[in-house]
Structure 1
């Protein structure tokens, strides 16, 4: 490898701060030393990384490409060091876990108790940012396991089935529709409908239930947090279609109700996503096995 870690750190600092004075201060070196470091990196790599634009440095097209890698890679290395420092002083191995699409963690306390009984050397850490970008979070190593609905076929990502769920209509408690055995798309035509994503996800309600009927709800509002959607529905302000497992705590507390979609219902599979590169008996794979075992018994 032609560049050293100090050169990658330089690229990150200059990209984020934009001028030599601030980047040099952030790196703890003089402006002259930073200029020499830039020249050294360009000599090693065999091309210009930056060009001057007034008092600021502007990345060349080739410089932009290599800096993008620096911005992705250095945080991963920093997290790896932080994890090592924590694990070096603890007997427990930390596993970072997130839930894709739905921010539901009501089940976490019971699962942590299960983990403590079965594998006390593992420590669970929740990563909320994985909800919106599960694959990217795994690829960039900001999370170790993502519990995800549907099937996300991605190279380098291992998919371990966990349990079967269903998509349901979520309505206020004691809503008139709660007395029906199931609902049809026509029931959504003139009602306020909340969705947590504008993106049409394969295998979810729009593709499998709404679009085939040709009946599109007239009043659709995007609310990107499922917790907020539940609050709005509980207050009688509309309905949504969500994972029954994800909203189970709110159903049990009788804040909301759910109704089956269509005569046959709409099933939804949940899986644990991990990196294929993980070793066979890594802490992440141990936790995935515990997740699968726990869901079988819970």
Structure 2
């Protein structure tokens, strides 16, 4: 069955939603306003639903256009990625492996790992998919990415994990904070402290279970910020404290903008792993090869994923 709409119609819907005007959308797409108006009428005729309504000289999307925009984004993104893959293949790249790191956007480790990867493989290009970091496991399952570097234990069906490293959690604060000279903090130390977190959903073996609950001691929630790098900046400005993985904090710690203390005297470490689809676990699969080499590299003395 022939699709009702083609790529031109999907691009049209995206452009009108972005600009709100036929003339601006036409300029964005490099066509005349009359041609774009004709294309819009054709799309609405084929679908037999209105895509936009006019309001104060601007076009407002209908639910149908909003739904089609989501589909268009996915299709056009996949097409763009396919074009990039083809260009890479023509340049000697045979496999593109897409990787994302949970929560953090600190990639100071990346150049070292790429050198390690290229010294041991041919024809594999690594593509960082930073947009998938909020839910990388879903990204692996829906094939938006191939490898997710995540913390904790992964038990989802259809996914397999390769252990990478164990990393300590740090309670971070500004250098002028009253606890800045501590080697470690206990729950009772932080009662009432302004606390910034990227999630208020308790996770096993994290600060909720290991620092707060054992002593029934809780900080005062100051903010929920989903970007750890923004949390670091707020902590450095003495607007609160937080608990984050130490490997992602090294730059700020080295610069002296924040200080860190162990979470409890014994310390709390969190396992990190490389997660991929189980079907990609064959030894000769490039996705498995990259994940296995990432695990090997993490054991190298100069690896940048965690503190030693």
Bin for the TM-score computed over the shorter chain:
0.7 to 0.9
Aligned pairs, how many? 294
Which of the residues 4, 14, 30 maps onto 1:2? Answer: 4
Asked if residue 295 in structure 1 is aligned to residue 269 in structure 2, the reply is no
1:65 to 64, 67, 70: 67
Q: Which of the residues 242, 260, 264 maps onto 2:244?
A: 242
CA separation of 1:276 and 1:14: change in aligned 2, threshold 3 A: farther
1:117 aligns with 119
1:184 maps to: 186
In 2 relative to 1, CA 31–51 (structure 1 residues): closer, same or farther, beyond 3 Å? same
CA-CA distance at 1:255 after TM superposition: 7.8
Q: How far off its partner does 1:216 sit?
A: 1.8
Taking a change above 3 Å as real, the CA distance of residues 176 and 55 of structure 1, as seen in their structure-2 partners, is closer
Q: Distance between the aligned counterparts of 1:276 and 1:236, measured in 2?
A: 44
Aligned to 1:163: 165
Give the corresponding residue for 1:286: 289
1:44 to 21, 46, 50: 46
Structure 1 residues 219, 8: CA separation in 2 closer, same or farther (over 3 Å shift)?
Answer: closer
Unaligned runs of 5+ in 1: none
State the shift of 1:17 in Å: 1.6
Question: Contact 1:76/1:141 (CA < 8 Å) preserved in 2?
Answer: no
The answer on whether the counterparts of 1:162 and 1:272 sit within 8 Å (CA) in structure 2 is yes
Q: Is structure 2 residue 21 aligned with structure 1 residue 19? A: yes
Give the aligned partner of residue 203 of structure 2.
Answer: 202
Q: 1:152 to 1:13 in 2, by over 3 A?
A: farther
More deviation, 246-255/184-193: 246-255
Contact 1:150 1:269 in 2 (8 A): yes
Contact 2:194 2:240 in 1 (8 A): yes
Give 1:256 deviation, angstroms: 6.5
Tell me by how many angstroms 1:185 deviates: 0.5
* 1:11-47 Cα distance to aligned partner (Å, 9 max, x none): 1112212222222232233333223322322333333
SS in 1 for 2:247: coil
Q: 1:155 to 1:18 in 2, by over 3 A?
A: farther
In structure 2, C-alpha distance between the alignment counterparts of 1:36 and 1:235, rounded to whole Å: 55
Q: Any idea what SS the aligned residue of 2:198 has?
A: coil
Aligned Cα root-mean-square deviation (Å): 3.9
Q: 1:58 to 1:253 in 2, by over 3 A?
A: closer
- Once residues 220 and 9 of structure 1 are traced to their aligned partners in structure 2, the CA distance between those partners, rounded to angstroms, is 42
Cα 1:107–1:21 shift into 2, 3 Å: closer
1:93–1:283 Cα contact (<8 Å) kept = yes
Q: Is the 8 A contact 1:130 1:137 kept in 2?
A: yes
1:207–1:42 distance in 2 versus 1, CA, 3 Å: farther
Contact 1:3 1:44 in 2 (8 A): yes
In 2, Cα distance between equivalents of 1:229 and 1:127: 21
Cα contact 2:197–2:243 (8 A) shared by 1 = no
Q: CA offsets, 1:130-174, max 9 Å, x none? A: 444545766787754332223566787665443333323346599
